[in-house]
Amino acid sequence: MYEKTLVLGLYSITPVHAGSGAELSVVDLPIQRERHTGFPTIWGQSLKGALRSAFEREGKNKGVIYSIFGPDTDKASEHAGAISVGDARILLFPVRSARGVFAYVTCPMVLKRFRRDMEFAGRNDIANFEVPSVEDKEAVVPQGSILTINRNNETLVVLEDLLLTAKENELSQIINAIEKIIPDGVDDLGKRLVVVSDNVFTAFVKFSTEILARIAIDQSRGTVKEGGLWYEEFLPADTLLYSIIAISKPKGGSLNDAEAVKSELQGFLESKTYLQVGGDETVGKGFMKIKVL
């Protein structure tokens, strides 16, 4: 059914609000999360929509767009699009660090899933790394990490207000694998990477996203409008996600085979380098640097 795949790396340059709707909670507008893990995500449909609108804006040929993404809504029943855009999954989450400013944090569960997904995508060149095991009070860091603090013969890492014992480990396989999907211009991975336990990672992605208060002001009074205060959650800048795009033979439009769809899509994404995803575009949010392979 699916003949080809593309892997998309997405690195947030500005905070991203891929929203899941309004909620009756402290945060009025939360971000999309996976139901079973609570990890932040960008749903496939949001991503596909962002890709389609970028494609359409570029003035691409209608036939090509119909082949790749499917026809316009009023003709949606005619045929499906040739691509299936997977949910963007988290790989690195930035967490504030007492030393080294901030860290790229990941965990065994995320890494194993990444490896499995790369195998599924037929990218065994990326999927060949070992995943270290890590205890709740540990942080696995590569040699030369800028995050560590030495105190009384102990090497430590402080992430947010959590003190972890640093364990130096050979992480070059993992760094190489992630570097394949990280967009160009982000080259401090080796210095900032930390692998923490699944529990610790879950706590970070749940409780240390960016939550901003937004207000609307009434011009006649110069004070906040009634109902004009809301809290909005963002995936912070410097987060890395990836998505797998599976490609099948087109069922309509002007392209003939999966290879043509792939090269059309790949060519376009390589020329783009940036994609705007999620809400609040006009206040500078949701700009992601992309890499396609």
> Binding mask 230-269 vs other proteins (x if CB under 8 A, - otherwise)?
------xxx-------------------------------
Q: Which residues are 252's β-sheet partners?
A: none
The answer for residues whose C-beta is within 8 angstroms of residue 181's C-beta and 6 or more apart is 7, 9, 91, 126, 240, 242, 291, 293
Number of chain residues interacting with other proteins (CB under 8 A): 48
Q: Which is nearer to other proteins, 36 or 151 (CB)?
A: 151
- Is 98 near other proteins (CB under 8 A)? yes
Backbone φ and ψ of 20, nearest 5°: -110, 10
- Is 153 near other proteins (CB under 8 A)? no
- Is 136 near other proteins (CB under 8 A)? no
Q: Which is nearer to other proteins, 109 or 237 (CB)?
A: 237
Smallest gap from residue 142 Cβ to other proteins (A): 17
Q: What does the alpha-carbon distance between residue 31 and residue 99 come to, in Å, rounded to a whole number?
A: 28
Q: Which is nearer to other proteins, 127 or 146 (CB)?
A: 146
Q: Which stretch binds other proteins (CB under 8 A): 33-41, 67-75, 113-121, 145-153?
A: 145-153
Closest CA to 172 of 130, 134, 135: 130
Q: What does the alpha-carbon distance between residue 224 and residue 216 come to, in Å, rounded to a whole number?
A: 6
Q: What does the alpha-carbon distance between residue 168 and residue 71 come to, in Å, rounded to a whole number?
A: 52
- Is 28 near other proteins (CB under 8 A)? no
Q: What does the alpha-carbon distance between residue 42 and residue 277 come to, in Å, rounded to a whole number?
A: 9
Q: Which is nearer to other proteins, 105 or 247 (CB)?
A: 105
- Is 99 near other proteins (CB under 8 A)? yes
The answer for residues whose C-beta is within 8 angstroms of residue 71's C-beta and 6 or more apart is 78, 79, 252, 253
Given 80, 127, 212, 293, the residue binding other proteins (CB under 8 A) = 212
Backbone φ and ψ of 119, nearest 5°: -65, -45
- Is 22 near other proteins (CB under 8 A)? no
Q: What does the alpha-carbon distance between residue 65 and residue 264 come to, in Å, rounded to a whole number?
A: 10
Smallest gap from residue 106 Cβ to other proteins (A): 16
- Is 186 near other proteins (CB under 8 A)? yes
- Is 226 near other proteins (CB under 8 A)? no
- C-beta of residue 23 within 8 angstroms of C-beta of residue 29: yes
Cα 228 off chain centre by: 30
- Is 180 near other proteins (CB under 8 A)? no
- Is 217 near other proteins (CB under 8 A)? yes
Which residues of the chain form contacts with other proteins (CB under 8 A)?
13-14, 53-54, 57, 94, 96-102, 146, 149, 151, 156, 158, 160-161, 163, 185-186, 188, 210, 212-214, 217-222, 236-238, 273-274, 276, 280-285, 287, 289
